[in-house]
């Protein structure tokens, strides 16, 4: 009689009959519940997180909360429109950050539109508010203020309402004051908020002032009226948004920044329209070029109108919502 093999019984014991009462299920290869959600443009770039980008209104639907995982949210309102005839640049939309706990539900998102540039002696229009309604609570940031114009020299205040934090102020006409940021503090409010006042018009150059950006006010310079710098956060990848500030001619893609102010327009504005503005802010119109709009999806302000030629202000860029959560349980 031969020796009986034990290999088969050992294998079966580990898969069906083995009972290890000390096993916890939390070893190094264990993966717990993860957040699962749909909505917007969803991306998993391999950095351990999942991102959802909303550049138009929609819904963020969480179908699994991952045991109450953390959700980071960026809110950016629509940028303000530029002013008419040596007009001020539009202010950037409000820039706010939220840190929330994942909750299974459908959470509506409304993206703020960019304000219209002025086509007559009147201020540019304010941008629209961006709202993220989470578990029934609206979190919102306001739009940027419109730039001042000939005949309505002062830049607009950053937009706000009873439920939205303010945006940045628009720049003033060449002989007018910039609009202030509006520090309204709604309840609930974004955890962190950034907005700045617009700058006054620039004399004797005869240019409108730059609109405020989430990162800074517009600089008050004698040769141009650059818009205020945009803003980024440590968790925003550089693949989103655009460049933080003006570094000469080049592409607007990449950089992780949003909510730059529009440049003032006038008689001697520089740099030219081929140079990107801060964080997507529009360039001011000048003797040889028309003003440009703020880049949609960045919440940046439109450029102010020129003193001759194309006197109309540029339209502000629409706002955005960017959401991040862990891809690992």
Q: ∠188-98-158 over CA atoms, to 5°?
A: 65
Eight-state DSSP code of residue 285: P
pLDDT band for position 29 (cuts 50, 70, 90): very low
pLDDT for residue 318: 97
pLDDT for residue 4: 41
pLDDT for residue 48: 95
Provide the strand spans (E) within 66-175: 70-76, 95-101, 105-110, 130-134, 137-141
| Of 218, 208, 264, 214, residue with least CA distance to 242 | 214
- Mean pLDDT across the chain: 82
Under 8 Å between Cβ of 195 and 94: yes
| Of 217, 262, 321, 286, residue with least CA distance to 126 | 262
Handedness of CA 210, 305, 205, 294 (dihedral sign): positive
pLDDT in tens, 155-186: 888 877 666 777 898 999 988 888 876 666 67
pLDDT in tens, 97-138: 999 999 999 999 999 999 999 999 999 999 999 999 999 999
- Per DSSP, helices labelled H in the chain are 7-12
Q: Tokens 């303000």, residue?
A: 80
Between 14-23, 104-113, 292-301, the lowest mean confidence (pLDDT) is in 14-23
Q: Does the pLDDT value for residue 61 go beyond 80? A: yes
Of the two residues 33 and 210, the one the predictor is more confident about is: 210
Q: Does the pLDDT value for residue 202 go beyond 90? A: no
Q: Does the pLDDT value for residue 240 go beyond 60? A: yes
pLDDT for residue 60: 98
Q: Does the pLDDT value for residue 198 go beyond 70? A: yes
Q: Does the pLDDT value for residue 221 go beyond 70? A: no
Of the two residues 75 and 199, the one the predictor is more confident about is: 75
Residues belonging to the chain: 329
Sheet strand arrangement including 70-76:
41-43, 49-54, 320-326, 70-76, 95-101, 192-194
Q: Does the pLDDT value for residue 96 go beyond 90? A: yes
Q: Does the pLDDT value for residue 273 go beyond 80? A: no
pLDDT for residue 187: 66
| Of 35, 38, 104, residue with least CA distance to 66 | 35
pLDDT for residue 157: 84
Eight-state DSSP code of residue 254: -
Of the two residues 202 and 301, the one the predictor is more confident about is: 301
Of the two residues 308 and 22, the one the predictor is more confident about is: 308
Percent with pLDDT over 90 in the chain: 53
pLDDT for residue 53: 98
Q: Does the pLDDT value for residue 27 go beyond 90? A: no
By DSSP bridging, strand 320-326 and strand 49-54 are antiparallel
Between 45-49, 214-218, 253-257, 300-304, the lowest mean confidence (pLDDT) is in 214-218
Question: Please, is 64 exposed, middle or buried when counting C-beta atoms within 10 Å of its C-beta (0-12, 13-18, 19+)?
Answer: middle
pLDDT for residue 192: 77
| Of 137, 142, 104, 69, residue with least CA distance to 327 | 69
Q: Does the pLDDT value for residue 270 go beyond 70? A: no
């Amino acid at each position: 009689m031969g020796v009986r093999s034990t290999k088969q019984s050992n294998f079966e014991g580990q898969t069906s009959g083995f009972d290890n009462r000390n096993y916890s299920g939390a070893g190094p290869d264990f993966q717990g519940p993860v957040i699962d959600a749909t909505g917007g443009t969803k991306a998993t770039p391999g950095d351990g997180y999942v991102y959802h980008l909303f550049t138009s209104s929609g819904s963020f639907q969480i179908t699994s909360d991952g045991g109450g995982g953390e959700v980071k949210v960026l809110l950016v309102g629509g940028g303000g429109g530029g002013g008419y005839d040596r007009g001020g640049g539009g202010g950037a939309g409000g820039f706010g950050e939220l840190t929330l706990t994942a909750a299974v539900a459908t959470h509506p998102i409304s993206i703020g539109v960019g304000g219209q540039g002025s086509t007559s002696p009147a201020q540019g229009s304010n941008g629209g508010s961006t709202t993220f309604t989470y578990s029934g609570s609206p979190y919102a940031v306001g739009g940027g203020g419109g730039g001042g114009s000939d005949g309505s020299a002062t830049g607009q205040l950053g937009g706000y309402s009873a439920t939205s934090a303010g945006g940045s102020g628009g720049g003033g006409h060449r002989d007018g004051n910039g609009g202030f940021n509006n520090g309204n503090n709604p309840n609930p409010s974004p955890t962190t908020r950034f907005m700045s006042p617009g700058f006054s018009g620039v004399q004797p150059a005869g240019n409108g002032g730059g609109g405020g950006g989430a990162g800074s006010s517009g600089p008050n310079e004698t040769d141009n009226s650059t818009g205020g710098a945009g803003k980024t956060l440590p968790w925003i990848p550089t693949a989103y948004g655009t460049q933080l500030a003006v570094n000469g001619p080049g592409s607007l893609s990449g950089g992780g920044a949003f909510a730059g102010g529009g440049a003032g327009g006038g008689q001697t504005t520089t740099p030219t329209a081929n140079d990107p503005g801060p964080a997507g802010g529009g360039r001011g119109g000048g003797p040889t070029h028309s003003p440009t709009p703020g880049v949609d999806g960045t919440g940046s302000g439109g450029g102010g109108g020129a003193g001759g030629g194309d006197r109309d202000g540029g339209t502000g860029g629409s706002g955005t919502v960017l959401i991040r959560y862990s891809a690992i349980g």
